[in-house]
Structure 1
């Protein structure tokens, strides 16, 4: 028999005691002694709880105390020969003892589970927070970038660069490129203003059609063109201004000037009306076309070859008289020496006064008679192109 410490409560007891009298845990046949450190522990544990050495199950606490003297052995032998009566000890009801190491492991497991779950939840929450923070930061950067790229203010662009140091490289490059563009645009505008020429302003608009100074540049060009047209004061100059600036600031002035100039200026259109009217008249005379001749004049002429308030019949009488019996053929040819004046008689309706020379060629039966004659033709033509007055004067050579 050996005295040991109860593995459960630590009290000194016999290794042969069925149970610990203090805590009631089973002792006899249930404990083992560590071969490494001598610690007594329950034999259902895999290793020593003190040094964690694995002790074979067969190494149990011996009933013999080898350190006792020989006399004790003899006494023990005598006691062995004497029959002993063992008083039965009633079993004590106590809770089944649990190995402390197992308790410790269970406690560790029970604590480790919630800790791990808490860590997982914490990491997940951090991830979610980081995601939303990063998304919010990215969205703010995108909004700042869009606003900066639409702005013409270099200060707005510089603010974006200062507040978004970790923005995507392509965004920062675009903003810096726009800043450089705006600086170049300001330099070009300053140069255009210093020059003050139409060419410099047009060059600026070609490079920067949507800049904040574009409208001012167009205004200056409009003013320059109108000043040039006013100084020249010709039909072509004013018409050119209106063609280039249909919605210009000086359109009303240009239209008034154009009307005034048209009253005094004979245009190609005016010249065409005059020449067409006179040619129709004399071609009808050459062909002895009475119908064509009537269509070339107004119903009532203020003056025709000295006769006032002449009619179309008077015009036909003139043609019949000049075709005498000895005339085989007659040809009137107008020279290109027109002198045309005009005056306004209505809203942009003009009456034309024209002077032009004409050559009359005659083929007669009598070869000795006059064959050619020159005349000065003066006529008045209404806005619709009809002759309303005419005189003919022979030019003596």
Structure 2
């Protein structure tokens, strides 16, 4: 059994993907070719936003957003401590300060109660300017955007959705990537919608953000590539990856159904043994991972290994515990839920072609 079976997906889509790649090889426009524009149109339509701007990877997508929002030294950007490193890395890269927030114990996502507490703490200290929130759609489930948006509006903060794991998720029919002021995703192969290399995208309804990001992703260019009007970066999605993603996006709705069937099977078999994932009413998860909570994680993972079932840990170390952020002065116990999750969660195989036997 594969943890994420990309080979099974490729065999299912082989003829269509091969034809798409061959078309790129035939026309030879390997960078920003016609498939890139086609993909951006279809991504925007799927997510339900005016603009989808592709780029080289998910981290670049977040970096471009930080640049577009003008995040800088002295700014505080609030983000979960229980997530992948890139979410806070891009904040620090702009010279700003990531301010970490605890998790909700049921959804694993950023906790709105602790978010407001951390915002008020920064305001009281008066050293940093609260500027933005980055919420992460962890393991496929959108964060609590109705409540997070209320908090963002109350304190005048920009809201960024990191939908790298959440693409395909929903809240009351509204899809991941359409929440907040601007959103990002990753097309890393292991993501719900992944390519065969690196790739990313930014989603927004804001025309000004869209035009700015289109410039920033190509060295800050103006009317042509020899008139650079701002400092940008080189972050373009290559055409072959766009071609692959076009066929994967066409198959994605059925794969999403399959993921939810697999998740329900897991839940019915495992709810008596573990704390299983919670999907609130009105929410849909894209199940980037199916994640359990166990008192003795190592022992449980060994049991699955003995049965030939691979498992993974996301994430074994919280952000505030990592060496590079020690200078921020956080202590053990500052984020009790996230710290507990980092010691107890593990994930089972999940993909759109999973055949689950009794687990």
Tell me the TM-score normalized by structure 2.
0.18
- Larger RCO (CA within 8 A; separation ≥ 6): 2
- Quick check: which has more Rg, 1 or 2? 1
Tell me the TM-score normalized by structure 1.
0.17
